[in-house]
Structure 1
């Protein structure tokens, strides 16, 4: 087999994995719709960016401050899967990352988790994500995954820290605080997040 044929075969393989990944994302969207999630914001519009976290538009459109967390998910999934499945090509690892992220999006939009967000965090009016937002979150995880696959480790780590600090500064929330508040809510953090 020539070098050109070998490269073409690898590209075709990655294309196949991307196609399977797209089917998995579409499947997650169907499940979310069957769960009763709104396809798009009930406002009837689609926005590229929503910067206000205390609004009914948050988690309803394509991107918001929590998008940074989903990019970091991609960094983390790539790193963890590189450690535990280093011999696998990027394609299978990507599918596992999509499966985990899609499962999280489905679980995150159950009544149990939505109520947990309302009880334990500052997201008092949180109603769950629109399907558009959930699909976008998965796609941003994919962006993070491919970034981590291409970028030096040091750059990925610095960018993750920057995203965490930026979100923490701007909205008083980030991936780390979100995990802490969901698993073991602390009154001091909740008071700080509420601006008290």
Structure 2
């Protein structure tokens, strides 16, 4: 039994050493994206999409602000894979460097990251949204567009009030006929009588 205890202790020590050496599971966003650590963002375009709706892209040409948002992405860590759902607004951050190379990251309004066709629960996306000046809890551009469209329709269409109905009773044109008189007769058919 002492040999089993020694083997267990050795394995646990090895696992701990590998974790402290950084050989454990890599869950930082930049560990999953090739070349992200060496990328120098010069500009940024942010696309907002929900379902089939796409808002007008926002462009950040200030290299310092683009680098600040890119830096906020470095702190994002990925968690478990979650269900992909189109009901959430997606923000696609497309960075460009001085050479024109581009790198894109997709974050959802609920704090998830879409990467390689999978959606991950993530930590730190709120910092990215804050650095980009985006409030995912605010109405999306799609709902703002719908609301303004409804408001403009309400303002341009005058309110129509229905006119009261007028009923006309025609005056009689002919003399009424006198009531007819009928004589009733009893009938006995054997099975029934009338």
The answer, yes or no, to whether TM exceeds 0.5 is no
Higher radius of gyration, 1 or 2: 2
More helix by share: 1
Higher strand share: 2
TM-score (norm 1): 0.30
